[in-house]
Structure 1
Amino acid sequence: METRRPGPLAEVASPVKAGWRLVFVPSRPRELAVALGASIMVPSMVAAPLLLAALVTAVLSGSSAVWGGFWVLMALTVLAVVLLAVATLYVTVSMTVRWVELRPLATPAQVVIARFLRSSTMALADLQRVVVIERLSLGQRQSIKVVLHTRNQTVECEPPTSAPLSRVDAQALTGWLTEHLGRAQVAIERQTEVKRDFLRPDEWWTLSHTAEQWRVPVGEVDDIAAQRGIESYQYTPRAYAMHSPGTSVTVYEPGRAYEVAEELRAERAASQAADSPMAPGPADN
């Protein structure tokens, strides 16, 4: 799996005329287009097989009643698309945070939160805590968001996956917030949420994949899994149920299995470093 390289913080956090701005959504038209496109595609893809089956049935039967049912199904699909599109646009426009600005530039005393159609301003003294939350799955970032905690509300600022902020290093972002908000006694925290709810058995690691990630022979996987406390599950795949009902497959919980892969890599690196000869010192005269 390819790891996305962290992007530069300067792309999303920079000084503007009024203050320091942290950009979550760089383009309003693009974000609206993505939201609208998703709201149209999802119900259309769900309804497509039903519409196709109804159309074929209507054509073959030639019944006016069947054609009537087809047009009713088509009307319901269009209605669902319209309602979902309106709801999606409303949530995007009213809830999504485009950028957060600290004003003025020299010594911030206000926080401006800009959404799509409106902005709100609060005193920096009302801001009690800022949390940077990074979500990981098997070592890969899934999302990152900044949560502002005030006395009266919580504001979640999460960039889309295509936005530059989604690629910024979490530690660098935490450091930038600490630099600009620390003097105002605002607590800055960084949290990491690791995905554990993998679908079993579809998302669990197979025996061969686990051995490949651990770089060990297949025959050693079960012993390592037992020693390191990795949950395993045996089942008979559907492909084997008819022809080989007694054949079972073992899969392993990927969250802990990934951690063991990292542990094994670190242990091998430490062992190689310990076994390598020390660098020769300056020659004695």
Structure 2
Amino acid sequence: MKIDQEDEQTSLVRRWGLPLGIAAGVAALSVVAVTVVGGERAAEPVQAGSGGSPTSAAASSGPGRGSSSAGAGTTPSSAPSASAPHAVTVTSVTTTPIKAEAVGRILSSCLGSDAARFHPVIAVRTPAAAKDWDGTVIAVDSAGQYVQCQTKGERGSSPDVPPTFINDRLWGTGHLVEYFDSIGQPAGKGRYLSLGAGHYTSGVAKMTVSYGEDPKQYPVVMAGGAFFYSASFSTGSSTAKLIAAMSTPYVHAYNAAGKEIYNQKKDPQFTGTSR
């Protein structure tokens, strides 16, 4: 965790890690290791509107690795939390589409000559602009490998070296959700931006995300077997430690019947109870 001296807020870059043997292959300067994801068929880029709801999506068909079915509950709540007011509060989760011509330039600057191999499935601007990011493009190639490129204007970048996710390792029966990069950064005085993405399998019909200990769940953009979430926060005079804790994202997944079939808070991969 790095503290932004000018804004006195947290600049956080977090990714979900691999087992040590795989993580060793990631560049030494990377903060943490890249996770792997599963192959999905390509789809048209999602055009997300208010609340991050997609206007196009494709069901995934491949097996999943990374997060097993964990927890069960009711359908997501859209009502405000009944708990006491939080010092760090969500102010917006609204994403907006990135124009097709800009998407091409973003992928080219992020991937170089490899850009032609990738087909965008999600391309959206975040609810607020941070110093380094104002959106994300997620794309997939014919082999089912995904890439997540953060945007700033019409330029794309990735903290991963190379900026692709290997999809043919560590997949197992019963897993539903896999994670790409999850990052956060100050977005001006008293504001903070969080964003993250990942991959879901065919048993997942709907996804949401909650933040910190607040039970309220927000929409997640889903398309082409990938998902994306983002939120801007009002931080007030909160400390960096509080901002990090209360903006921590937790993904939830539901089946077609509306039953919660995955809760990241109960995932052994993150609770430290995995074998």
TM (normalized to structure 2)?
0.21
Between structures 1 and 2, the one with greater strand share = 2
Between structures 1 and 2, the one with greater helix share = 1
Larger Rg: 1
